[in-house]
Structure 1
């Protein structure tokens, strides 16, 4: 598997030369110290061990502990070698446990993203897209600024898949937060579109199964567990094996996105008219429907009018803050407070009879 390596800078060249010099000096020092160490053991230490039984016992225990440690290191090294070979076969280059893993794991991923070449195309299959495009902790958000063509598939908030997804999540995550996150993602995509990017957005209606983000020759994958937020799912990064494309999991997930993208039942979002455009198998337009951000059958929770698309960075930030407040338990409106007072969580009324 070939990994992209950027040209070395002057500082990187100096660091490499310094490390080689230190290793050479260390090897020379060990070579000159070996005769003195052997002389000390043979003519000073070993006679004392022969004359003192306690010292001999301590030496034997110390030698046994060193041998056990070396044996364990060999076993661990062999097991790690097998894991590395399996990771190479799967083309796995990085993995992290949700948003955890500490600052060191995030630093490794930032370094990996900086080393990647600029991607012309970016393909995203996700749920709301908030944690990919809008959230400040998103490590891949900056990569979309350099891409020319961006294809995105989000979960339609008015679909049965969205209802199934929302009802499986914790009670504090309701329809309002879900719709606000989609609204923020659409606003971010509109901003990228106004910046000259070729942005295409489609909506799918099935319950989400995978989150897939393709940037150049790398793909980020997360599994959508029922009952768990996507941001807490383990994230895997697979790279394209240019020598043997049939090996590794980059191609299967890449083809998964392309196959889902080409399915004609997924409508395309028209940024100019705020409508969903349905096409047949030949790509011809069949009909247009207004995009309802909130389900029309939920009068308390929805505004049965097409989404009013925000386009400025300030509006994106406002929508993001509103989604964060809803996730923390605060309702966006008085109707949400009334539902909370009546014992029904905000955005949860539909789980029983949506």
Structure 2
């Protein structure tokens, strides 16, 4: 445990030893310190480990009711856990008066749980009938600040996008299997003939349905009706909720790519108002949480290698559709562990802490 609690609210980080939890703990040392007691909570197998938080050694507690003793109204618990864990434990914590910020898919479609990205709809944090605030999927979180700024200016009417998702979205298992696969195919001519990569990788596909090294996999999630994946439908629904556009036409294709960290998206957004590319660039350049990198003539455009380890969404390749002056096309990259998950949860927790300051 940490030392004596300060006057700030307490923060419990549930799932502190996972990939997103590791990033969130780093952020706590980099951002303004608004917290008193910080508790680290994880599964029983991680209990007893010590991790550095704000230059202090903090013991990881097992996820039991005892881990939340002494917490109450004004305190916050961030859940970085699978949905089934959040469903089981979030109500236990909110029963104490603690506000839960949940990063899983457990509550994203619950009408009594606000789905929040602070740069777009931070005001929604204040209305939480169940004492829970949900964060969107890392794909949605990576693009929504840019899209929200454009919507505020031009009024979004239709959206089509493709995601190019990093292996780390599947946690450490995703990153590790990609690294293993890359080591198996390094220095070979694999990928030139059908079946080359599959033979080299064998059964070691980890959380992905096909080899990721030297490959792209046009699938993420579980199969749903008419060939859509659960992940594609989730991005569609989350975008509608965050922008408060429940009837917005949205088409999504999710693709896994051999990148360790950093999701990318191609976006075609159609608006009610006509769009001019120079003005759209000004809107994006001024948008909170967005960095505009858009000079193709100089070879300047965002890539996931640029976004990795950074907080903003990087946007470039901004251009008006050749066939429709109401449509804008752009490319966006964001670190899926930071912007897509840990940062969003941290920002929400800080907004809630500010209510009790």
Specify if TM > 0.5.
no
Q: Which structure is higher in strand share? A: 2
- Give the TM-score normalised by structure 1: 0.23
- Give the TM-score normalised by structure 2: 0.23
Q: Which structure is higher in helix share? A: 1
